[in-house]
Chains A and B, each alone.
Chain A
Amino acid sequence: MANVEKLRKDFPILNSKNAPIYFDNACNTLRPRQVLDVMNEYYEDFPSCVGRSHHKLSQLATQKVDAARKQLQNFVGAKKSSEIIFTRNATEGFNLIANSLDFEKNDIIVNSDKEHNSNLVPWLVIEQKKGLKRVMTTSNTDNTFDVEAFEQMMNKGVKLVSIVETSNMDGVTNPIKKIAKIAHDYGALVLVDGAQSTPHFETNVKNSGVDFMAFSAHKMLGPSGMGALYINQKHEDSLAPFIVGGDTVSDTTYEQAIFEKPPKKFEAGLQNYAGIIGFGAAANYLKKRVGFSTIKKQDLAINNLITDKLLEHNATIIGPKDAKERSGIVSFYLQGLDNHQLAMMLDKSANIAVRSGVHCVHSWFNAHKLDGSVRVSSYFYNTIKEAQKFNDALDKVLKVMIK
């Protein structure tokens, strides 16, 4: 188990004079020096093109980017590094699959009822465009995944199950391995939204058997504007290119283009090399310096403390009451209180950063006729002391807000 206090020293913002208590990790995590340094190194030491030129700088940049791809391959347990496609974020990954998969009219796509907009809007658009049908699984009353209901709704017409692994709204993790097994039994493909799960749980795509998985760097200590899409190599030929141009082709004539194999096929134009290298460093840092046992332990300890305090105040927690089912997330609201005001007062009075609103899951909140919630999302660098400070600050703020 890594030492949290020692790890905190890696994060410049946590060692600044007015360090915040940062509980908005489901939106964006902080970045350690190890990630920032390698990104700077690219710009300072070898700021050149990858895979295009033959000079030393380009060779070095190519090596670093290849190494980052390898780090990401190891991070998600992919078979080959070419299965890792660099994207701008998880959203781009969903869009890539939505636009590249060979959908036919009346093909069915399955989503859960609490998808982030990134895994909902692309399907809403493609549904109209290609005449597809979209169906939605409904969760159990405590917002956990209803496997039975899912199995009942599956049929041979389902082309793709595109589903979130860990919800950014309530922290509930869906049984992806089980879902993939059922989906495959019906001949469907599985695309996973791993944006919230990859930072908190050890991921192994070989083991879970998923076909695709989109995830983002900024939720796992990496740079913003970077993401990756895992594409199982067996699908590499069946997927059409999405964004095309430089680097995606091996040759062109005035009449046609000959496309490269993945990952090049899907990585058009000059890439965010510093971001890719930083992403690789972040994956490496999480796996080797932190370890998922540390993350799990911190998530649970902090979530337990905060959950207890919220229940003391009769707050409604979205999802199961048991903290261990909600990873590092506790999403709540208090009857009659404005979520945004509560969040802003925590920030102003105690320098605590939490998120308020609908967390890009408008559809779920609209369906449940709720304005939104306050979301406290922790990560391994958050401490018990910070959770206690949150609880104290919450007591004080509620004393002011509640009549």
Chain B
Amino acid sequence: MAICVIALVVFSVLGIFSASHRKIAKEAFDCVFRRLTLRKCETGLDKRLKSQITGSLMLKAPRVAKFTYKNFEVLSWILTILLIASLGYSTFGAYNFVRYGNCNGDSDEFCIFDALIPEGESEAISACGTVEPNLDNLIVPQIGDSHTIGPEDAKVIIIEFGCYSCPFSREAQPVVEQVLEEYKDEVLFVFKHFPIMTHNDSLQAAIASECADEQGFFWDYHTILFENDNHSKEALIEHAGLIEGLDVAQFSLCLAVQEYVDVVNTEIDEGKASNIYGTPTFFINGEPLVGPKTFRQFKRVINRELK
């Protein structure tokens, strides 16, 4: 019976994709059901599986085949118990994933279900279209003259190449803010412009942020730009007006003459030198994370670096 329980689970899964396996799953179900109701398994599936397994083993290891044949029922029960235990453990992991966002519970350890996330969004980037996407080719950039926030002597340095007009950079922004809130004493955050030219006004938005910086309001304006997706010239000036103390006339003039285009271009060149292939791209103490990752994924890398 034990082997039929295993067959039922295995072939039910395979049966999703193949009709021939579905037939075996049905046989296994019939066998399990009959045995549970104290009747004899009539399909002969248990015997077939036993013969197939031991027959195959005979070709490679006759002694193992003999042992397997003799102790088939015991081995089947051991496998069944392991199968049930692993199913239980997987269910617990799934519950944790739903409840805590991590299959290990309230922890930042690696979770196998992380593999599910890239299917949706976390690997999504706004591609710059000039470099082949390859994580291994990424080169860690220097902080340089880029804007930073956080302690200078922080153990963890996060460098982001971002684009204000990129939806994925915008999606990552709340997580970045959460990271900076949680690790404000341990993390130095560096932002480098990498405006994706296919997005309207992306270069203009980057230059506008430098104009805000001229008056000491870079990070305030940075936040506003990620909160709003309209980066037309009029909108950029309007956004600047939201910052108390910022001289909008000076800002408008700065924007009009594109005074800081070279600053932005320098960072674009840095991005190119690092083989950046899209935004957002993060480097946490040199380890690249491409796309809008979850807070837990950031947390896992940061905590490892802090140890």
Contacts and interface: CB of A to CB of B under 8 A. Distances in A.
Interface in A193-211: none
Interface residues of B, number: 16
B63 to A, nearest CB: 9
Contacts of A338: 47
A348 B54 CA distance: 9
A371 to B, nearest CB: 12
10 closest A-B pairs by beta carbon, nearest first, are A348-B55, A344-B51, A349-B58, A345-B55, A349-B55, A341-B51, A400-B66, A345-B51, A400-B65, A400-B69
Given A340-B51, A345-B51, 17 more contacts: A338-B47, A340-B44, A340-B48, A344-B47, A344-B52, A348-B52, A349-B55, A349-B58, A396-B62, A397-B55, A397-B58, A400-B54, A400-B62, A400-B66, A400-B69, A401-B69, A403-B70
A344 B66 CA distance: 15
B102 to A, nearest CB: 44
Contacts of B66: 399-400
B56 interface: yes
B64 to A, nearest CB: 10
Contacts of A401: 69
Contacts of A347: 55
9 contacts: A338-B47, A340-B51, A344-B47, A345-B58, A348-B55, A349-B58, A396-B58, A397-B58, A400-B65
A400 B47 contact: no
Contacts of B47: 338, 340-341, 344
Interface of A: 338, 340-341, 344-349, 396-397, 399-401, 403
Contacts of B69: 400-401
Contacts of B62: 396, 399-400
A344 B58 CA distance: 12
B54 A345 contact: yes
Interface string B186-200: 000000000000000
A245 B69 CA distance: 57
A232 to B, nearest CB: 44
A22 B51 CA distance: 19
A344 B70 contact: no
Nearest to B55: A348
A116 B65 CA distance: 37
Contacts of B44: 340
A330 B48 CA distance: 23
B50 interface: yes
A8 to B, nearest CB: 25
Given A349-B55, A396-B58, A344 B65 contact: no
B62 to A, nearest CB: 7
Interface centre among A341, A396, A400 (most CB of B within 10 A): A400
A124 B84 CA distance: 51
Contacts, number: 43
Contacts of A344: 47-48, 51-52, 55
Chain B residues touching A, majority SS: helix
A288 B256 CA distance: 103
Chain A residues touching B, majority SS: helix
B16 interface: no
B104 to A, nearest CB: 42
Contacts of A349: 55-56, 58-59
Contacts of A403: 70
Contacts of A341: 47, 50-51
Contacts of B59: 349
A400 to B, nearest CB: 5
A340 B58 CA distance: 17
A344 B55 CA distance: 8
Contacts of A400: 54, 58, 62, 65-66, 69
Contacts of A348: 51-52, 54-56, 58
Interface centre among A338, A346, A347, A349 (most CB of B within 10 A): A349
A346 B56 CA distance: 10
B69 to A, nearest CB: 5
A338 B48 CA distance: 11
A237 to B, nearest CB: 49
Interface string B100-128: 00000000000000000000000000000
A397 B50 CA distance: 13
A14 to B, nearest CB: 22
Interface string B33-60: 0000000000010011011101110110
Contacts of B51: 340-341, 344-345, 348
A345 B54 CA distance: 7
A362 to B, nearest CB: 15
A340 B43 CA distance: 12
Nearest to B64: A400
A348 B55 CA distance: 5
Nearest to B58: A349
Interface centre among A345, A347, A401 (most CB of B within 10 A): A345
A403 B66 CA distance: 9
B90 to A, nearest CB: 32
Contacts of A396: 58, 62
A345 B52 CA distance: 7
Contacts of A399: 62, 66
A345 B65 CA distance: 11
Interface string B9-51: 0000000000000000000000000000000000010011011
A91 B50 CA distance: 35
Interface in B257-279: none
A338 to B, nearest CB: 6
Contacts of A345: 51, 54-55, 58
A143 B66 CA distance: 35
A400 B65 CA distance: 7
Contacts of B50: 341
A203 B51 CA distance: 40
